[in-house]
Structure 1
Amino acid sequence: NVITGIIKANIPSRIAFAVTSGTDSRVIIDQVGAEKLIGKGDMLYLPTAASTPIRIQGAFVTQREVESTVSYIKNQVKPKYIKGITDVESKISPAAKEDEALVKEALKVILKAGYASVSLLQRRLRLGYSRAGRLIDILEDMGVISGYAGSKPREVLITEEEFEKIKSSNLS
């Protein structure tokens, strides 16, 4: 039950690497064959419209090569940011202006942690639940953190550079 029917329905093209049995191959590509692969990048690719898989060879790429390629691409063109998304200062609520120092401190904490949650702010800033929750709401309104996602922590949506810009300015 590793690959459910819902997953299979939503990912019509499939790739199978070497597996130990024909049963495992059938789970992935709905037919045998992947158990005969030799490994080391050897794989079967089953495109959406095809009835039989295509045997292909994947290349090994080192971390250094990936970083070099990403660096090269980054240096080609400067990013073009969408004004409304990256302009954090325009999204500051009146509540944030009242607790400016505390909001900046909360920003520092979540940037260092890499995520945001009420319990994180409670522990690190020694706050009660309602105050920490209000800070999370303010940060979400500012566009600094992602929205509520159940029990998962919220994502931080700004960079250190954007934080420095906020820190050096007044929230008003």
Structure 2
Amino acid sequence: PRADVITGVIKANIPSRIAFQVASKIDSRVILDENGADRLLGQGDMLYLPPSASRLIRAQGVLVTDDEIRRLVEFVSAQSPPAFDPEMQEKLQSVAPPEEEVTEEDEELVEKCLEIIRQEKRASTSLLQRRLRLGYTRAARIVDILEQRGILGPGEGAKPREILVDLDAAV
């Protein structure tokens, strides 16, 4: 953190603060207005400044690894099969958008887009805009088509879309 980025106005609007291990006393003062975060041990060791207190509280945050999360999900999934509410499924299917009609010209463009996605190993509207010199609307429409076909996952803001199929195996 830098003092010119985290200004006093910003800090005044954040009543409580948490700091994990930082590199220097200056970084600690930027976050907490006190030294201390530079001496933390890492691995979830933190300093907490609640809005109602004037002293820092040392706390331990939980460190959950990706492997632990995966094992927990597998354990819970193995306990029983998923239970779906048939009524809810019907509602979801009835409001699903109909698949757009794709012209032959669009189909050629879809193939070009798939080749770019295969090469780049990522997929986004902006990538297709740049590489194929497309406008936003057209590139977004192609991405929507690929999502409807189950090739790309749903959009998550500015992040690239998840590629759901192995495009190299499809060649």
Deviation at 1:4, TM superposition (A): 2.0
User: Could you list the per-position Cα deviations for residues 27-48 of structure 1 after superposition, in whole angstroms to 9, with x for gaps in the alignment?
Assistant: 1122233234344432112234
Look up the SS of the partner of 1:15 in the other structure.
strand
AA of the residue aligned to 1:4 = I
Contact in 1 for aligned 2:125/2:140 (Cα 8 Å): no
Q: Which has the higher contact order (CA 8 A, sep 6+)?
A: 1
- Which protein has the bigger helix share? 1
Task: State the TM-score, normalized to the length of structure 1.
Answer: 0.54
| 2:88 equivalent to 1:83 | no
Query: For 1:111 and 1:78, how far apart are their aligned partners in 2?
Result: 35
Q: 1-side partners of 2:6 and 2:142: how far apart?
A: 37
CA 118–54 in structure 1, closer or farther in 2 if over 3 Å, else same: closer
The residue number in structure 1 matching 2:17 is: 14
- Residue matched to 2:105: 99
Per-residue CA deviation, residues 120-154 of structure 1 (Å, 9 max, x unaligned), is: 4775xxxx635x8664142256583759x8xx7x7
Quote how far apart the aligned CAs of 1:158 are: 7.3
RMSD value, Cα:
4.6
Q: TM-score normalised to the size of structure 2?
A: 0.54
Provide the C-alpha distance between the structure 2 equivalents of 1:135 and 1:72, rounded to a whole number of angstroms.
43
| 1:14-93 pair list within 5 angstroms | 14-19=17-22, 21-73=24-76, 77=82, 83=92, 87=96, 90-92=98-100
Aligned residues: 149
Structure 1 42/156 Cα, relative in aligned 2: closer, same or farther at 3 Å?
Answer: closer
Structure 1: stretches of 5+ with no match in the other structure = 164-172
Unaligned runs of 5+ in 2: 148-153
What CA deviation, in whole Å up to 9, does each residue of 1:27-79 have, x standing for no partner?
A: 11222332343444321122344433321123444432122124345666468
Specify whether residues 107 and 11 from structure 1 end up closer, same or farther in structure 2 by C-alpha distance, changes over 3 A only: farther
Q: Is contact 1:103-1:135 (8 Å) kept?
A: no
